[in-house]
Structure 1
Amino acid sequence: MTSPTTTAAHRILIINCYPRASRENFDRSDVGHPHDLFRAFLAKEAPQATTELVYIADPDFALPAGTTIDDFDAFIWTGSDLTVYLTDDPRVAPQIDFARTLLDAGKLCWGSCWGIQLASLVTGGEVAANPRGRGWGIDRGISLTEAAATAAMHQGKPASFDAFTMHLDEVTRLPDGTSLLATNTHSPVQAAIIGTFWATQYHPEYTLHEMGRLIAARAPALVREGFFPDEAAVAHYAARMKELAADPDSSELRAELGVGDDVIDPQIREVELRNWLRFLDSQAG
């Protein structure tokens, strides 16, 4: 068993960015909630940290009673199925405002998928629908840029890797002065540190099991968009992903799904999140 990344008693606010209807659909569809994926990571890598949870897309969003942003050491933003450039959407506008507040105050944030789109939009970048269509399951051939060699996010990460993904939109232009840290052919903007907001388009917090659950729930869309011939094929693929999660040493399943250690081994998959915790420790010190 490896040692945790930090034993500091950080107080972290997890911001679930999905609207209530989507969260209820997660429950009906047997999909894990993204805040629970981050909680599982923190329980392992930051066992002394405490977390609180808010649902920012809900109309009654507020910080936990009696708190301000200064009561938290860091903030984690989950993914979302909303569209960030629809800024008049009442489920989106508060997220833009709160992200701007945190960035203006210099608060350390992490955000997967939705996070890189949100942080980019707030600071002057651009986001649009990906003309290549949905990124789903595993994003292939993500490469680190030269800038990543001197950035804290990817220290210890392979120069090229695959990672979990599920998204329709992408960052088309990073904010001025922001270095691109990772890229691939499907979504050229894959990772960046935007002010104090560490963000990836891919999901280092996901696991094979959880991505299998999500893919199974997305079956109608994946068939409609032409990735599978029918929902039975989606179910089979998702089931095989869950089987590999249960038996990660299976060479047969690894070959069938095209999955290697960069996706299976948390010591590789979660590098960015562990580096974020190390940076949090350095800021607290």
Structure 2
Amino acid sequence: MRLLVLEGNSLAGRRRWADVAGSTPSDSYADLLRTLAPEAVVEICTPADADARLPQPIEAYQGIVITGSALNIYQREPESLRQIELVREIFAQGVPMFGSCWGLQLASVAAGGEVSLNPAGREVGFARKITLTEVGQGHPLHAARNAVFDAPAIHSDIVTKLPPDVTVTARNAMSEVQAAEIRSGRGRFWGVQYHPEFSPQDIAWVLLLIGQPLVNEGFFADAAELERYASDLALLQHHRHRRDILWRLGLDQDIADDRQRQAEIINWIASLDRT
């Protein structure tokens, strides 16, 4: 199996993330895919870059994954427009895709939908009470998920106009589209507005990377409280059953258990074996 990870960030965005986390989002996502599918060859492309080239032709891949991004697709920057065109080409070629956060937004726009700033504000740290729709409860994207669950999340934008051929499989109070299947051309996309690839440590890094704006928006009383929250998450990374931390942060096995947290990625990889 040959898989491709499309990095959603610009060069500047990749550098900012690597300065905090030590690697880019696409590097981390590729490592996770190699863990979940040890037999797979996993390659990376940075399509936001003007000089980006795919390592192999699109049709050489059995599946393509799209990471999150700090870009805002409605700003129509060249870094975003290049990615929209690539995803349209992938839809036309019929290679199955999966996307987290930016990935869902990108596929929605490429297939004819729209994305806007969420009037309800930013969803920070964890998307709470994600609820599977009636069709979502039987959809293979969410196999092994509870009907209601939490997931790592960090985003300000949401899908506000659905593309023509879409099935919404999950929603919550912050977004009517927390997960969906999109069909376009010959292609199939499964995606989520949250980040099943993110560990507790990843969320800690995201919070520290954003920093003061989260205090300004009222999520934390001050920088010290933000740092304490991030520290708890970093501890949880290595001590998943710390009852005191789970209780304090209002988390359970949706987050602490890797396979529960990564369910949609695991299910997508399994779907490739059946195609």
Q: TM-score, normalised by structure 1?
A: 0.92
Q: CA RMSD, aligned part only?
A: 1.3
Does structure 1 retain, via aligned residues, the 8 Å contact 2:254–2:260? yes
In 2, distance between residues paired with 1:182 and 1:204? 14
Paired letter, 1:252: D
Q: Pick the aligned partner of 2:69 from 75, 80, 83.
A: 80
Please say if 1:157 is aligned against 2:145.
yes
- Percent of aligned pairs with the same residue? 36
Once the two structures are TM-superposed, the CA of residue 80 in structure 1 deviates from its matched residue by: 0.6
Does structure 2 retain, via aligned residues, the 8 Å contact 1:31–1:210? no
2:234 corresponding residue in structure 1? 242
Once the two structures are TM-superposed, the CA of residue 250 in structure 1 deviates from its matched residue by: 1.1
In 1, distance between residues paired with 2:204 and 2:70? 17
2:60 corresponding residue in structure 1? 71
In 2, distance between residues paired with 1:262 and 1:279? 22
1:254 corresponding residue in structure 2? 246
2:42 corresponding residue in structure 1? 51
In 2, distance between residues paired with 1:123 and 1:163? 25
In 2, distance between residues paired with 1:140 and 1:32? 27
Question: Does the residue aligned with 1:241 lie in a helix, a strand or coil?
Answer: helix
Does structure 2 retain, via aligned residues, the 8 Å contact 1:209–1:242? yes
Does structure 2 retain, via aligned residues, the 8 Å contact 1:30–1:217? no
Paired letter, 2:5: I
| Offset from partner CA, 1:120-159 (integer Å, 9 cap, x none) | 1111212110011111101100000001133220111110
1:17 corresponding residue in structure 2? 8
Does structure 1 retain, via aligned residues, the 8 Å contact 2:136–2:169? yes
Please say if 1:218 is aligned against 2:206.
no
1:122 corresponding residue in structure 2? 110
Does structure 1 retain, via aligned residues, the 8 Å contact 2:5–2:45? yes
Change (3 A) 1:31 1:260: farther
Which runs of no fewer than 5 residues in structure 2 stay unpaired? Answer: none
1:5 corresponding residue in structure 2? none
In 1, distance between residues paired with 2:22 and 2:72? 20
In 2, distance between residues paired with 1:185 and 1:105? 35
In 1, distance between residues paired with 2:250 and 2:28? 23
Does structure 2 retain, via aligned residues, the 8 Å contact 1:31–1:217? no
Paired letter, 1:21: A
- How many residues align structurally? 271
Please say if 1:61 is aligned against 2:52.
yes
Once the two structures are TM-superposed, the CA of residue 32 in structure 1 deviates from its matched residue by: 4.6
Please say if 1:207 is aligned against 2:199.
yes
In 1, distance between residues paired with 2:268 and 2:131? 19
1:141 corresponding residue in structure 2? 129
Paired letter, 1:49: A
Which runs of no fewer than 5 residues in structure 1 stay unpaired? Answer: 1-9
Please say if 1:35 is aligned against 2:26.
yes
Once the two structures are TM-superposed, the CA of residue 31 in structure 1 deviates from its matched residue by: 5.8
Does structure 2 retain, via aligned residues, the 8 Å contact 1:20–1:58? yes
In 2, distance between residues paired with 1:43 and 1:51? 7
Q: Pick the aligned partner of 2:78 from 83, 90, 95.
A: 90
Change (3 A) 1:233 1:170: same
| Offset from partner CA, 1:186-231 (integer Å, 9 cap, x none) | 1121000111111100010011111111111211221122211221
Paired letter, 1:35: S
Paired letter, 1:80: S
Q: Which has the higher strand share?
A: 2
Paired letter, 1:225: E
In 2, distance between residues paired with 1:68 and 1:97? 15
Does structure 1 retain, via aligned residues, the 8 Å contact 2:14–2:25? no
